[in-house]
């Protein structure tokens, strides 16, 4: 899927994608100030490289294509293949990998940390930079920096049901929750007793706050050399006095009223360490079919980031500004 006005001459094109089942991510974020195109695969299955290649060719306006990739093995392999195909076809291209989930390192779908809801925030912010005319290199650098500033964690009170399987991906007792669940129903840190909403948010907030600096090696495409580079990157821990965008995200079947309860408790917990919530999003942005649960994302920001956040965006799922 692409913007109706694609390709937009003179501006970097943003392409993302992945398995279906996470709507509105990614197709709901196509439009002015965000994605130029998106490639959905089958449920929880990466789209194929030829689809990514074809979409990128349709949206390239001459300034290059930035691929925003969630850190899952299938997505990485297929987007990397598409990157090489685009380079061979003369398209200027580079990549940003998102790995914001603090819950686990290595799981069923990925090596390293998983890419979850911070992907949405990155797509918005980098999309605004592309819309104002930033270069491919500048957009990529911004995306990588934002990835290193974002932290997410999710919980589930009930599993999602993949249509092809016809049954929940896991089962929980009435008083249990999967703490640190992935957006495909992957296991988290552990299973815990669910006592109250406030207590659950407290445990999630403490986990986010206790998550220290984290260094890892990520692959990114070097546009000049036309080759993959192994780059050491470091995530910065949340600290007292940080300014953040807070995303309280429905994983599928959680009522909006409960999400506001989550945000209320999150805002209370941010007060003690002096974490300032500059902007917030509350709703369904990165889902997991019909999973009963939610996630919290905190993205560290500065004045420049907030300017990009406030810039106009016109997509089916995010829409503000003139």
Categorize the per-residue pLDDT at 75 as very low, low, confident or very high, splitting at 50, 70 and 90: very high
Does pLDDT of 184 surpass 90? yes
Query: Which residue among 22, 26, 151, 314 is the active-site one?
Result: 22
pLDDT for 104: 83
Identify the architecture of domain 152-209+240-299 in CATH.
2-Layer Sandwich (3.30)
pLDDT for 292: 97
pLDDT for 109: 66
Query: Which residue among 26, 87, 151, 184 is the active-site one?
Result: 184
Q: How far apart are CA 68 and CA 8, in angstroms?
A: 18
pLDDT for 108: 66
Overall average pLDDT of the 135-157 stretch: 98
Does pLDDT of 261 surpass 80? yes
Q: How far apart are CA 41 and CA 78, in angstroms?
A: 11
> What is the per-residue pLDDT across 16-36, written as a single tens digit (0 to 9) for each?
999 999 999 999 999 999 999
Q: How far apart are CA 152 and CA 259, in angstroms?
A: 15
Nearest in space to 131 (alpha carbons), one of 27, 34, 15: 34
Give me the half-sphere count of Cα atoms (radius 13 Å) on the Cβ side of residue 251: 27
- For the chain, give the mean pLDDT: 97
- Residues contacting residue 322 through CB under 8 Å, at least 6 positions apart: 312
Overall average pLDDT of the 214-219 stretch: 94
Share of the chain above pLDDT 70, in %: 99
Categorize the per-residue pLDDT at 51 as very low, low, confident or very high, splitting at 50, 70 and 90: very high
pLDDT for 187: 83
Overall average pLDDT of the 113-133 stretch: 98
Please state which CATH number belongs to domain 13-149+214-235+302-320: 3.40.50.10440
- 13-149+214-235+302-320 and 152-209+240-299 have identical folds: no
pLDDT for 178: 97
Looking at per-residue confidence, does 106 or 90 come out higher?
A: 90
> What is the per-residue pLDDT across 277-315, written as a single tens digit (0 to 9) for each?
999 999 999 999 999 999 999 999 999 999 999 999 999
Q: Is 314 a catalytic residue?
A: no
Does pLDDT of 196 surpass 80? yes
* All structural domains of the chain with their residue ranges: 13-149+214-235+302-320, 152-209+240-299
Q: Is 22 a catalytic residue?
A: yes
Q: How far apart are CA 99 and CA 69, in angstroms?
A: 9
pLDDT for 54: 98
> What is the per-residue pLDDT across 161-183, written as a single tens digit (0 to 9) for each?
999 888 898 999 999 999 999 99
Categorize the per-residue pLDDT at 188 as very low, low, confident or very high, splitting at 50, 70 and 90: confident
Angle (nearest 5°) at CA 151 between 146 and 155: 145
């Amino acid at each position: 899927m692409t913007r109706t006005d694609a390709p937009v001459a003179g501006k970097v094109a943003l392409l993302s994608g992945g398995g279906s089942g996470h709507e509105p991510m990614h197709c709901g974020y196509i439009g002015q100030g965000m994605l130029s195109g998106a490639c959905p695969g089958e449920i929880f299955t990466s789209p194929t490289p030829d689809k990514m290649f074809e979409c990128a060719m349709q949206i390239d306006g001459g300034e290059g294509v930035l691929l925003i990739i969630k850190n899952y093995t299938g997505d990485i392999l297929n987007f990397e293949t598409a990157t090489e195909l685009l380079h061979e076809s003369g398209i200027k291209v580079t990549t940003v990998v998102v790995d914001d989930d603090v819950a686990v390192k290595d799981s069923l779908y990925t090596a390293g940390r998983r890419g979850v809801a911070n992907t949405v925030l990155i797509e918005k912010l980098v999309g605004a930079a592309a819309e104002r005319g930033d270069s491919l290199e500048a957009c990529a650098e911004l995306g990588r920096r934002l990835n290193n500033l974002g932290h997410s964690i999710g919980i589930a009170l009930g599993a999602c049901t993949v249509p092809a399987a016809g049954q929940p991906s896991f089962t929980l007792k009435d008083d249990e929750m999967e703490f640190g669940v992935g957006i495909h129903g992957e296991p988290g840190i552990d299973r815990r007793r669910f006592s109250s909403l406030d207590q659950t948010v407290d445990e999630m907030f403490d986990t986010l706050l206790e998550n220290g600096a984290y260094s890892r090696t990520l692959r990114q495409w070097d546009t000049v050399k036309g080759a993959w580079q192994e780059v050491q990157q470091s995530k910065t821990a949340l600290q007292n006095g940080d300014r953040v965008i807070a995303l309280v995200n429905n994983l599928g079947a959680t009522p909006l009223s409960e999400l506001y309860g989550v945000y209320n408790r999150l805002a209370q917990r941010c007060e003690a360490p002096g974490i300032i919530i500059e902007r917030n999003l509350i709703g369904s942005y990165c889902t997991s079919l019909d999973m009963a649960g939610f996630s919290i994302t905190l993205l560290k920001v500065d004045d420049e980031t907030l300017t990009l956040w406030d810039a106009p965006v016109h997509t089916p799922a995010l829409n503000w500004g003139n």
